[in-house]
Amino acid sequence: MLIGSPHRFVVRRVFSRQKGIVAAATSTQRLSLQAGRYVGKDDPVAIVRCQSGLPALGEVLEPFSYPHIVSGWMRGSHFGPLMPTSYEDATPSRFDGPPRIVALGFQLTQGKLIGPRDLFADVSFDRARRIALELADHLRHMGPFEPHRAGMDELEYTTMPELMKRLQERWQPLG
């Protein structure tokens, strides 16, 4: 239940109960919240181990076969579909999105990393990309309104706090 509230809770590590090792680790820090103001990018990174008693590669990639709606589009102030893309196509330009995710696979052989292999360059993710683009169109047509724009308490990189402070004396209670 808690993992469904990403603005309040984050997953840092996933441990294998059977092996007692870290199976996945993430860099899910929100720098703007830690410092009280925008100080840099907070694009997350995850490292996931596969095979050898851990989930198979296909099991790890399967959640990305559908573009879930995430926050982080356009300066972290909008919601959009998470689109799995090849490394080559991870260059968003349309309203800085939609949010992209790339997956690079490495093989560990005799203590050396071999790779990378571009895991989302696979045609089996084409449908997810098409759906992501349709969802992006739908959300963008809502303009600067919720649910495309994040709620007031979630806006990260905007001038909204300064604007609210400037207008504070003009607000009147309803009813």
Q: In the predicted model, what is the mean pLDDT of the chain?
A: 87
Confidence of residue 31 (pLDDT cuts 50, 70, 90): low
CA distance 170 to 157: 24
Confidence of residue 143 (pLDDT cuts 50, 70, 90): confident
Q: Is residue 39 in a domain?
A: yes
Residues in the chain, overall count:
175
The torsion angles phi and psi of 171, rounded to 5 degrees, stand at: -75, 140
Q: Please say which residue of 54, 79, 98 terminates a domain.
A: 54
Asked if residue 63 and residue 47 are part of one domain, the reply reads no
Q: Is residue 136 in a domain?
A: yes
Domain extent at residue 37: 1-54
**Tally of CB atoms within 10 A around 160:** 13
Q: What is the pLDDT of residues 2-13, one digit of tens each?
A: 888 877 788 889
pLDDT at 58 over 70: yes
Angle subtended at Cα 6 by Cα 5 and Cα 8, rounded to the nearest 5 degrees: 75
Domain tally, the chain:
2
Report the percent of the chain where pLDDT is more than 90. Answer: 55
- Name the more confident of 31 and 141: 141
Q: Is residue 131 in a domain?
A: yes
Which are the contacts of 140, defined by CB distance < 8 A and separation ≥ 6? 95, 148
DSSP label at residue 61: H
What pLDDT does residue 28 have? Answer: 67
Query: What is the value of pTM for the model shown?
Result: 0.81
Asked if residue 144 and residue 120 are part of one domain, the reply reads yes
Q: Is residue 140 in a domain?
A: yes
Whether residue 80 contacts residue 73, with contact meaning beta carbons closer than 8 Å, is answered with yes
Q: Is residue 161 in a domain?
A: no
Asked if residue 64 and residue 140 are part of one domain, the reply reads yes
Q: Is residue 45 in a domain?
A: yes
Radius of gyration of the chain (CA): 19
